[in-house]
Structure 1
Amino acid sequence: MYTLSELYRYPVKSTAYEPLQSIRLDALGLEGDRRWMVVEASNGRFLTQRLLPQMGRIEARWQDDFAALRLRAPGMDELLVKVPGRDDNLRGVLIWRDMLQVPDAGDEAAQWLSRFLGRDVRLVQMPEQRARQVDTAYAEPGEHVHFADGFPLLLIGQGSLDDLSAKVGRPLEMLRFRPNLVVTGAEPFAEDGWKRIRIGEVTFRVAKPCSRCILTTIDPHTGERDAAREPLATLLGYRNVNGEALFGQNLLAENRGELKLGMPVEVLE
């Protein structure tokens, strides 16, 4: 039997993970997942650990039923940021090829983040009404995504990580790959062959494999890069398709509902 063994969300794109016991899904994926993003103050371009590994040391947690965001980081006072109105203080931002107008979270949040990151940045928020269309090569019109790179959900099989760890020669942290859902009980890379799955009352379409980047070489606890570029180097050796290292599957939820750890995972197609 396949089982949902881990659940994670990332309230601010590219900051520290939040482990969950249960969570509901909304129109954009897991409730509260990647609804905030750090951008360059000068041009609105999105920022991640690819450029600023120290972003992984920022802890973000939702407060008061998604009315505010609590930020913590080493050496910094805790900061509570209220969710701006969906049409308040709109700022133009760029995430990959998508140009958006989204609410800016204000000067206090910008100063806090700029001080910690050593760079002039702003914090922006994604209201559901301003979400991005998922690439229609893989999704229907009207299927939207938050500030994730391309898709609202990422699934990885524990067996796949175990296989990669064996090839690298040491245990690897699942959080290097920043999944939302982890499934145990399946053979390594069984998820490559799945087309539709069901967890609890929620059904998901498997959209496409996830192409991995340099972010996988950053230790999720220390923010340090691996000098040997592992595990990306090993992935490129045996999971290379057209020059891309594939690991994990991007999902689209077909309906809403609640997920809980320990739920069975049923492969429908």
Structure 2
Amino acid sequence: MAKSTPFEGNAALIYGAAKGIGRAVALEFARRGARIAIADIDLDGAQETAALIVAAGGQAMATRCDVMSDLSVREAAVAAEIALGEIDILMNNVGGILNGNIEDIPLGEWERIISLNLLSAVRANAIFLPKMIARGSGHIVNVGSFAGLYPFAASRMPYVAAKAGVIALSESMALYLHPQGVRVSCLCPGPVATNVMDGMRTWSADVVMRGPGSQLPVKSVEDTAITLADGMHDGRVIIPTHEEVWPILERHAASPDRFIADKIAEFESGDTGRPTMRSSVAPK
């Protein structure tokens, strides 16, 4: 089985690194010696991230990209390859959420959320996987969520479906690609201090957003980036931001019915599962 891709001297393209986790990951990859390309619909933010890397002595470039467009994703890939050469690490980080009861969410929102969170990775992977397979090296990073690992996010079901798809896709990709020398990792954020709820659409009045567990601590984007980079270095496939999630997953696997019943009871008791340290943290 192939070893994990090192960072030193390699080129990384991150779709979605104008802010938040993506920016922190770009800075961490650069700190470890990677050259960075940033593709984001927020070009000003992408350029700010690149400037931070350059100011710290690294090499980086930025380009605008709408990951909902096949053409835009391909154009960003070409721009990154022109600037940095062969792309060794591809990270699919773009995502977005909504809030609402399932009966209130229109089909168009399902299509938008699934395209943004799942198909965006499919579009980018389709460009780079043939090249990585041909040379027998490379590292794909997809971004899932705790919401795709176990049930709690009842008011974000399109997001749940998309992120569960990303996780399942990543595991099957690893099964297929690792023997061919291409690594796959899936970062799964839990409660992380980001601005992911900025611009979030809500489709139901007074709907309560549930979190992955009020006992889970809030992580910074910087800690999240270190966790990802360390996990990639160690060759891990599923990389959660919180190691505390594993006992939760064990309970879910032991009895999904009991787990769901317990979650219903928690919510009815007033425990929404959201972290209490800061109200701006989105429960991923």
TM-score by length of 2: 0.28
If asked which structure has higher relative contact order (CA below 8 Å, sep 6+), I would say 1
More helix per residue? 2
